[in-house]
Amino acid sequence: MDFQLMQETWPQLLDAVPVTLILAVVSLGLGFVLAMGIAMLRLSKNRVLQNSAYGFVYIFRSTPLLVQIFLIYYGSGQFRTFFDDIGLWVFLKEPWFCAILALTLNTGAYSSEIIRGGIQSVNWGQIEAAKSIGMSAVKRFRRIVFPQALRQALPAYGNEIILMVKSTSLASTITILDITGIAKKIIAETWSPIEVFIIAGAIYLSLNFIVTRAVNWLEINLSPEQHRGRVSMIGRLRSVMLKR
Amino acid sequence: MDLSLLSYGDQGWGDEMIWGAVMTLVVAVSSFLVGIILAVGFAAMKLSNYKSLKLIADIYTTVLRGIPELLVIYLVFFGGGTLLRMVASGVFGYDGYVDLPIFVTGVICIGVSSGAYSTEVIRGAVLTVPKGQIEAARAIGMGKATRFWRILVPQVARFALPGLGNTWQLTLKDTSLISVIGLVEIMRQAAVGAGSTKEPFTFYITAFVLYLALTSITNRGFLRAEIWAARGVRKS
């Protein structure tokens, strides 16, 4: 074990953390919005909308993310003149744009199923009750369905976040220097894979550890009635605010 | 887009792509099986009463599920040869050049990560078998092996199949990552074709369709297996 090398590579790998984080956060954010839309389509009464949403989800869940990234990044090059004409080439030539697009579509497909499950888990009686006291569809969704769906979907969504943090590593295959990209570069230069792997692995593990903790914390705070006896920050805040 | 590029035979890339798909399938099946073997072992360790064994198994599943597969592939690809040469010269006194074949490297990498996911699936499935059944089997004098094969295995198989189906899909898709170290499966073949014909879209969309076909067909197989494994269960 070459500790000297570990000490030297440590800051370089740490510098790449923001790249990984930006990839993950941006595509998770955009993907969540996309997923909400797809989940709505899947739950709509229109057969065509339902099926096209299902088709999208099925296709993106059945193919490797690497193919999706390559298809967008390298595949678009085949139609360069076309994309140039409609003004999209400035985006498609950028690895960052392609990586985020692929990651967004991918997580959108996976998360939509999670959200759909959450929405469907909401008790029908509650929706009927909300209807009977005259809540509009939007209000019903915002006050009754959405909060409960979110809570129900949270554990599964936590897993999705971790999968996404791992998936960002594929961006390194299209020249983006994220943690994995830098790690590969250092390994190829120094030929000491084990040292670099330990540091890069530790960084990924700590990122995912933080995600797990955060999701856990949210879970407890969003459903205080199921975790009575534990300290609940949001619950406490809520009660303070209600008193006022 | 020139589809004649994908024709079968000397002129086209159709047959090369099909062979790539065969390679993908072989790697995926091998890795999945390696994963299952690892998973049975690590699940047993997780369920054992020894703290140290539990800890080892916990470290295995946490690390392999928390680190990108790509990083593991780079580790084994760049580090496997060094380790092998160390063992070769240290244990066998052989100082020549030895290296892991890419296929083996790939199966090891995808296998260990597939195993980490399967471990949790199998552990969960074992836990769903009621303890009373094992006690009952012991009470009527079944031996350890009979208990294992007649009581545990059939039920664990049934409970674990849906989860293993998910792991299989993950494994199949993860094999595409081995293309970065040069194993000629679907992705690599597509990259080679794209490079020499300058038609990347044609080749990557073919790869896309091939993966879609592989996952759809094998998924159907898993659904069948689930029905088969549940044949003795009363439907509600």
- Give residue-wise pLDDT tens across range B157-177: 889 999 999 999 999 999 999
A35 with A152, same domain: the answer is yes
Q: Do B169 and A172 touch (CB under 8 A)?
A: no
C-alpha to C-alpha distance for A233 and A209, rounded to whole angstroms: 21
Contact B74 A79 (CB under 8 A): no
A81 interfacial to chain B (CB closer than 8 Å): no
Task: Residue A142: give the domain boundaries.
Answer: 17-173
> Which residues, other chains included, contact B192 with Cβ-Cβ below 8 Å and sequence gap of 6+?
B16, B184
**What single-letter amino acid sits at B119?**
T
Write down the pLDDT at residue A235: 59
Q: Where are the domains of chain B?
A: 25-184
If asked whether residues A99 and A2 sit together in one domain, one would say no
Q: Are residues A128 and A67 in the same domain?
A: yes
Which residues in chain B are contacts of A160 at CB distance < 8 A?
none
A70 touches B at CB < 8 Å: yes
Q: Look up tokens 């999209």; give the residue.
A: A88
B86's CB contacts (< 8 A; 6+ apart) are: none
Please check whether residue A202 touches B, CB under 8 A: no
Share of chain B above pLDDT 90, in %: 65
Is A12 found in the same domain as A69?
Answer: no
Q: Which CATH number, 3.40.50.720, 2.40.50.140, 2.60.40.10, 1.10.3720.10, labels domain B25-184?
A: 1.10.3720.10
Q: Which of A63, A184, A187 lies nearest to residue B208, judging by beta carbons?
A: A63
More confident residue, A175 or A240: A175
**Final residue of a structural domain among A113, A142, A173:** A173
Which two tokens mark B218? 């094998």
pLDDT in tens, A21-56: 999 999 999 999 999 999 999 999 999 999 999 999
CA dist A99 and A106 (Å) reads 11
| In the predicted structure, residue A243 carries a pLDDT above the cut 80 | no
Going by C-alpha positions, the residue among B206, B138, B175 that lies closest to residue B29 is: B175
Q: Is there a single domain that holds both residue A164 and residue A205? A: no
**Helix, strand and coil in chain B, % to nearest 5:** 80, 0, 20
pTM for the structure as a whole: 0.88
Q: Could you say which of A113, A147, A173 is where a domain stops?
A: A173
What is the rounded distance in angstroms from the CA atom of residue A226 to the CA atom of residue A219?
10
- Per the listing, tokens 């928390």 go with B66
pLDDT at A184 over 80: yes
Does residue A89 sit in the same domain as residue A119? yes
Residue range A102-124: mean pLDDT, rounded: 94
CATH assignment at residue A37: 1.10.3720.10
Whether A78 sits inside 8 A of B169 (CB atoms) is no
Average confidence (pLDDT) over B73-77: 90
Which of A145, A173, A201 is the C-terminal boundary of a domain?
Answer: A173
